[in-house]
Amino acid sequence: MRFYDVPRAACLSLAVAMLAAAPATAKTISVSATTPDANEKLQEALILAEPGDVVQLGAGTWKLTDGLSLDVANVTLRGAGAGLDGSILDFSGQQGAGEGLLVTSDDVFLTDFAVLNTKGDGIKSKGADRIVYHQVRVEWTAGPKETNGAYGIYPVESTDVLIDSVFVRGASDAGIYVGQSKNIIVRDSTAIENVAGIEIENSYDADVHDNIATKNTGGILVFDLPSLPMQGGHNVRVFDNDVRDNSTPNFAPKGNIVASVPAGTGVLVMANRNVEIFDNLFDQNGTSNISIVGYRYAYTDAKYQPLPRAIVVRDNQHGRAGFAPAFPGGAEMAKAMGGSIPPILWDGTGDAVVNEDVGVMSLNLPDLKMPQSAAKPSRVDLKGTAPAALPGVTLPAAMEAKVQ
């Protein structure tokens, strides 16, 4: 039986039982930012911690030269806050490791600290089931730069992921990136001035809600890519988000898939199925509020499904959009359509239902091999019968309890 099928009361009693089962020796290991060899001392604490322990970061700025890692299950890494007076892990002088913090164990809780200016990714968790990111800030403080690290918050290959009340700025790929994972909630978070604000890639069962995605190149992306161990992304709900003014010119290093995202994109769905986009607030996204497209690159992976399918758009609020479409031929299309293109952009592949009173423009490129230059844009009506609504994501109660 899956945990979230258990009635709530049973969950609570189970959670209590789990607490009781924690080792009696569970302890708090406090580390100070000003201790000599703070980097080594903190890493040592993360290695010597035992399940149930809390590693407490002192307030202040930690000047770190090497990436940190945590491989012990059920450990909490807690700081004194993610703000200016909190616990700030500053990686400006980083000499090694591909990320600031790497978590590879289950049931880890990361809360109340900041990770700044890592050379690679900010915080990565791999194969780390039931991880909770809460009130964490990951930032490249000079703002958008191609030399910034790729991902801010980066859980991958994990089941049950909660990202709650985080702040991410300046990632040269995605601020919050969830890849090849299952059962995911990203909520109440802010992604600003990243290439992609929030990205759900090659993942199943995700709820992305109540976030602010602004001043990114693209606000929220739902992607599926070929030749990866987990693909066939599906069942993603994007709702109650504030997605506005995603106008930052694309600063991703060329070659990466997000380097192809046009500035001014609100939500972009590529090659996924059963994606619902509803009750969001869109405004000032110069290319489109919502784009729905297929994967238009060559690939050799016979198992890959390159089309968007069963995409549902409904009940969103659309402010101004489509006034500066930043894709080849976009400016001409806007001119021909009276200054701007409709807020929803579809390349003409796969199938989508748009049950709201808003303009939809199709590029009429139903064959993925057709070049963008062959586009014959026209307004289309995609109203229709939506597939059954997705049930939504529920996480184990013990995870939710951590952020209450």
Q: What type of residue sits at position 187?
A: R
Which 3-42 residues touch another protein, going by CB under 8 A? 40-41
Q: Are 231 and 203 in contact (CB under 8 A)?
A: no
- Other CB atoms within a 10 A radius of the CB of residue 165 amount to 17
**Stretch of residues binding another protein (CB under 8 A), selected from 91-99, 162-170, 326-334, 382-390:** 91-99
Of the candidates 77, 20, 88, 79, the one whose C-alpha atom is nearest the C-alpha of residue 43 is: 77
Structure letter (DSSP) for residue 368: T
Which 128-147 residues touch another protein, going by CB under 8 A? 146-147
Q: Which is nearer to another protein, 100 or 377 (CB)?
A: 100
Is residue 9 classed exposed, middle or buried when 0-12, 13-18 and 19+ CB atoms within 10 A define those classes? Answer: exposed
Binding mask 181-220 for another protein (x = CB under 8 A): ----------------------------------------
Which 225-264 residues touch another protein, going by CB under 8 A? 225, 227-230, 253-257
Of the candidates 183, 181, 189, 179, the one whose C-alpha atom is nearest the C-alpha of residue 219 is: 189
Within 8 A by CB and 6+ apart from 32, the residues are: 38, 58, 60
Q: Which is nearer to another protein, 95 or 317 (CB)?
A: 95
**Stretch of residues binding another protein (CB under 8 A), selected from 22-30, 68-76, 347-355, 389-397:** 68-76
- Find the binder of another protein among 87, 94, 190, 216 (CB under 8 A): 94
Of the candidates 382, 336, 385, the one whose C-alpha atom is nearest the C-alpha of residue 358 is: 382
Q: Which is nearer to another protein, 84 or 298 (CB)?
A: 298
Instruction: Give the three-state DSSP class for 3.
Output: helix
Residues near another protein (CB under 8 A): 40-41, 43-44, 46-48, 65-67, 69-71, 94-98, 102, 104, 118-121, 126-127, 146-147, 149-151, 154, 156-157, 172-173, 177, 179-180, 225, 227-230, 253-257, 297-301
